[in-house]
Structure 1
Amino acid sequence: MLHKIVKKQNNSDKCIVCGDKNPYGFHARFYELDNGELAAVFHTKELQQSFPGRVHGGMVAAILDETIGRAICIDKPGSWGVTTEIQVKYKKPVPLNETLRAVGRITRDTRKIFEGTGELLLENGEVAAEAWAKYLKVAIEDAAGDDFTEREWHYLEEDDPREIEI
């Protein structure tokens, strides 16, 4: 199903998931959708391999963790989460050298804690992995310290899509 993009989220320099200057990372782009979910679009690389031709399961968990954790920003801009628990169910191998999508949503939100679910989708739309995660809400200064600057967290001007199929 096609969903309209409402807003694009920022990227960082060094993050393993969204860092545009991290050669090992996914260079994921995150988009807030018209249905209240968050979508990540990213390309898998040889540097993320476990078994030949497959992305390492830890990298799969990382993209799902980041996608679910960022989803809190849709309704609560400026809120951040520190992961306290994550459960990942691996359903299919995740191939290298493909452009994939992940989607995340918040399922529970309290004053100090939030929870969410997400899926990693293959190019053909099949679900390769599912996750549930729980986060502690924190201020960005508490999570990142004084090193978190506008240089480290920035909007990337790109020719982004207007819609994403989820």
Structure 2
Amino acid sequence: MEYKVTGKQENSRMCLVCGMQNPFGLKARFYSIEHGELVAVFSTGEEHQSYPGRLHGGIAASILDETIGRAIAVGAGGTVWGVTVDLTTRFRKPVPLGVELRAVGRITSDRGRLFEGSGELFLPDGTVAVEATGRYLKMSLEQITGEGLEDELDWRVISEVNDPESIALPDQNKS
């Protein structure tokens, strides 16, 4: 199904998941979509492998953790982020390297300072490869970093010519 993109979230400079200047990072781009979920779009390389040709499970868990933790910002206008309390992952299929992948995160419960979420990492054919659920503590960026960011280049929305207007995702009821 096609979902309209309603916004794009910030990237950092050196984060392993979203850092645009990290030579070993995923350089994931995060898009809010019309029904309140968050989609990460990224590609993997040999530097992300475990067994030859396969994505390391820790990297798969990292992208899901970041996507679910960022999903709280979709409804909060980017002023609140999630800091992981716990994360449970289930690995269903191996994830290949060198292809564009999508991870989806959503909030399943929002209670005061804590929220819970779930997400999936999809293979290019729409198969769910990895699932995750987690609990997160709501915090502002200043609380997380202990200070403000010294340089706005460390955290900003990076507009790209190829930013999508819509994102295709598999029907999650069939996965």
Return structure 1 stretches of 4+ with deviation > 4 angstroms.
none
Name 1:119's counterpart in structure 2. 120
SS at match of 2:47: helix
- 2:26 & 2:148 partners in 1: Cα distance? 22
Q: CA deviation at 1:38?
A: 0.4
Q: CA deviation at 1:145?
A: 2.1
- Describe how 1:1-166 pairs up with structure 2 within 5 A: 1-77=1-77, 78-146=79-147, 148-149=149-150, 150-159=152-161, 160-166=163-169
- 1:165 & 1:125 partners in 2: Cα distance? 10
Give 1:122's aligned amino acid: L
- 1:81 & 1:124 partners in 2: Cα distance? 30
Q: TM-score, normalised by structure 1?
A: 0.97
Q: CA deviation at 1:148?
A: 2.4
Q: TM-score, normalised by structure 2?
A: 0.92
SS at match of 1:32: strand
- 1:11 & 1:40 partners in 2: Cα distance? 11
- 1:42 & 1:22 partners in 2: Cα distance? 14
Q: CA deviation at 1:147?
A: 5.8
Report if aligned partners of 2:17, 2:25 keep a CA contact under 8 Å in 1. Answer: yes
- 1:69 & 1:146 partners in 2: Cα distance? 20
- 1:79 & 1:135 partners in 2: Cα distance? 11
State the Cα deviation string for residues 8-61 of structure 1 (Å, max 9, x = none): 111000110000001111100000000110001000111001000001000000
Alignment coverage as a number of residue pairs: 166
Q: CA deviation at 1:81?
A: 1.3
Structure 2 gaps, min length 5: 170-175
- 1:98 & 1:44 partners in 2: Cα distance? 7
Give 1:81's aligned amino acid: G
Q: Which shifted more, 127-136 or 153-162?
A: 153-162
State the Cα deviation string for residues 103-147 of structure 1 (Å, max 9, x = none): 000000111100100000011111000000100111211211236
Identity of aligned residues (%): 51
Give 1:162's aligned amino acid: E
